[in-house]
C-alpha cells in the first residue's frame, strides 16, 4: 500500500472537531440566554475560517478533490464534498454577520447565530465522518507517486494560504479555545 497523503487531512479533522465542539457549546449557552464572551465566539469563527476553510479546505479543493474527480468512481463524492464546503461557507457568512449584533442582546440575531452555528456544526460533523472514511483509503486509491505529489501540493498550499509555521499555532489556538469553551 502506498503512503497516504490524505492522512494529514484526517489529522486536521481532529483539530477542526475541537473547534466545532467549542462553537457548538457557545451556541448552546447562547440559546439558554447565557452570556458568551464576544471575543471567544469571534475566535471560534476566525479559527474555523482561517484554518478549516482557508487552509484545510484549500488543500482538499485544490489538490485532493480534483484528483478524486478524475476517477469516475469518486467524482460524485468529490462533488458532494465540494458542495458541503460551499454550504458551510454560507453558514459561516451568516454567523459572522449576526455576531456583532448578538453582543448587543438582539434575540433575532442570537437565533440567527445559533441556528447557523448548529447547522454548520451538524454539517461539518457528518462531512468529516464521510471524508475520513474515504480519505483513509487514499493510500489504496492513489499510487505512491500520486500520494507524494499530493503531499507536496498540500505543503505548497499551506505555505501559500496560511504561511509557514502557522499550522502549529492554529492547533494551539484550537486547544485553548476548547479549554475556554469548556469553562462556560
The whole-angstrom separation of Cα 16 and Cα 88 is 13
Predicted pLDDT at 102: 87
The whole-angstrom separation of Cα 173 and Cα 162 is 14
The whole-angstrom separation of Cα 53 and Cα 26 is 20
Query: pTM to 2 decimals?
Result: 0.94
The whole-angstrom separation of Cα 158 and Cα 55 is 6
Predicted pLDDT at 97: 95
pLDDT band (50, 70, 90) for residue 167: confident
To the nearest whole number, what is the mean pLDDT of the chain?
93
φ and ψ of 106, to 5 deg? -75, 115
pLDDT digits (tens, 9 = 90+) for 114-146: 999 999 999 999 999 999 999 999 999 999 999
Predicted pLDDT at 2: 52
The whole-angstrom separation of Cα 72 and Cα 64 is 14
List the grid coordinates of 31. 440559546
Angle subtended at Cα 98 by Cα 21 and Cα 182, rounded to the nearest 5 degrees: 25
Listed by start position, the domains of the chain span 7-182
Predicted pLDDT at 164: 76
Contact 88, 125 (CB under 8 A): no
Whether the pLDDT of residue 4 is over 90: the answer is no
The listed CATH number (3.40.50.460, 1.20.120.520, 1.10.10.10, 3.40.390.10) that belongs to domain 7-182: 1.20.120.520
pLDDT digits (tens, 9 = 90+) for 10-29: 999 999 999 999 999 999 99
Other residues' Cβ atoms within 10 Å of the Cβ of residue 1 = 8
Helix (H) or strand (E) holding 102: helix 75-102
Q: Helix, strand, or coil here: 131?
A: helix
Amino acid at each position: 500500500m502506498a503512503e497516504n497523503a490524505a492522512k494529514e487531512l484526517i489529522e486536521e479533522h481532529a483539530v477542526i472537531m475541537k473547534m466545532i465542539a467549542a462553537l457548538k457549546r457557545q451556541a448552546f449557552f447562547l440559546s439558554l440566554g447565557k452570556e458568551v464572551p464576544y471575543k471567544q465566539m469571534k475566535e471560534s469563527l476566525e479559527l474555523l475560517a482561517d484554518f478549516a476553510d482557508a487552509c484545510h479546505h484549500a488543500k482538499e479543493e485544490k489538490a485532493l478533490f480534483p484528483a478524486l474527480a478524475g476517477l469516475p468512481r469518486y467524482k460524485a463524492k468529490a462533488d458532494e464534498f465540494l458542495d458541503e464546503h460551499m454550504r458551510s461557507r454560507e453558514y459561516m457568512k451568516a454567523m459572522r454577520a449576526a455576531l456583532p449584533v448578538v453582543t448587543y442582546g438582539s434575540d433575532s440575531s442570537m437565533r440567527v447565530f445559533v441556528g447557523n452555528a448548529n447547522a454548520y456544526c451538524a454539517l461539518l460533523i457528518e462531512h468529516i465522518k464521510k471524508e475520513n472514511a474515504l480519505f483513509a483509503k487514499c493510500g489504496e486509491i492513489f499510487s505512491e507517486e500520486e500520494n507524494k505529489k499530493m503531499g507536496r501540493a498540500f505543503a505548497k498550499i499551506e505555505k501559500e494560504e496560511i504561511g509557514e509555521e502557522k499550522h502549529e499555532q492554529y492547533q494551539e489556538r484550537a486547544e485553548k479555545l476548547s479549554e475556554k469553551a469548556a469553562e462556560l
